[in-house]
Amino acid sequence: MSIPLNRGAEGKYSQSPRSNGLNQGRSQKLGYDDPLAYLLQKRVEEYTRQQIIYSPGAPCNRLYLVSWGRVAVFGVKGEGRQAVTRIVGQGGLFGESALVLPGERQEMAVALDKTGLMSWTRDEVDAQIERDPRLGLALAQYLARQCVDLNIRLESHIIHKTPERVMLALIELAESLGTPREDGALRMPHLTHQTIAQYVGTSREIVTFQMTRLRRLKLLKYNRAFADVYTGAMVEMLRSQGISASASRSPQAASQATP
């Protein structure tokens, strides 16, 4: 029998009864059935900031859940070149390739903060799918959603210039990692300009220039602890330039305006 994973008083995922409805609400927010409703409870392992979780030399062989903290997933190419393919926050899954691809993969995951992770081997996931096939469907829907999101990012890299790509990336990251503020911003924990540059596909210097520009336009506030992203105002600016953008993941986006 599966034990659903829900967020406790300290914001960490832990065991809780299926009947309390929290997973149902999360599934409705995601738009598809939530894999976390069917995964078994596991012990949380802690990782220190900048600790490598897996790498091409020690490839991923588990599916991971972020109980707290954040993880950056990198694609690693020749000569050590790295691009951030995803930044995974609390409640997010990563390491999905271990479920479908055998052998070594050119991928690395690093804890951006002190981070707690649950994990399951492929055999454990397969056994749970046999007990409850709904997990298999939920994972298939989750993987499909990840593919769609990645395609959207690739299209953005091809079609848009760097200033627009930086704005679109900040909107996406704020919606997935941020929490609402009274002034309409989404506040996300600090990300270095280098990490954002690797996520966007440009240089750190260009990201610093663009973020300074957005701060002057009062679309962004940031320091070494956090960044406040005014996603609604950014979306409106992009739309005025003929660029389609959405802040739909943010419930307050429709009422946001430039501060």
Q: How confident is the model at residue 78 (pLDDT cuts 50, 70, 90)?
A: low
Strands (E), 122-182: 179-180
pLDDT tops 60 at residue 15 = no
pLDDT tops 80 at residue 160 = yes
Q: Which of 46-55, 137-146, 222-231 has the lowest mean pLDDT?
A: 137-146
pLDDT tops 60 at residue 19 = no
% of the chain exceeding 70 in pLDDT: 79
Of 244, 249, 243, give the one whose Cα is nearest residue 229: 249
Write out pLDDT tens, residues 199-213.
998 999 999 999 999
Cα Rg of the chain, angstroms: 19
The strand pairing partners of 58, in sequence order, are 55
Q: Which of 9-23, 77-91, 119-133, 200-214 has the lowest mean pLDDT?
A: 9-23
The strand pairing partners of 109, in sequence order, are 54, 73
> Which residue intervals of 132-178 are DSSP H helices?
134-159, 162-177
Instruction: Please state the rounded mean pLDDT for residues 100-104.
Output: 65
SS3 string of 31-79? CCCCHHHCCCCCCCEEECCCCEEEECCECCCEEEEEEECCEEEEEECHH
**What is the distance between the alpha carbons of residues 32 and 26, in angstroms, rounded to a whole number?**
9
Please report the domains of the chain, with CATH numbers, ordered by start residue.
Answer: 5-149 (2.60.120.10), 160-255 (1.10.10.10)
Q: What is the pTM of this model?
A: 0.79
Separation of CA 19 from chain center:
27
**What is the distance between the alpha carbons of residues 98 and 116, in angstroms, rounded to a whole number?**
19
Q: Output the pLDDT for position 157.
A: 78
The answer to whether 64 touches 89, Cβ cutoff 8 Å, is: no
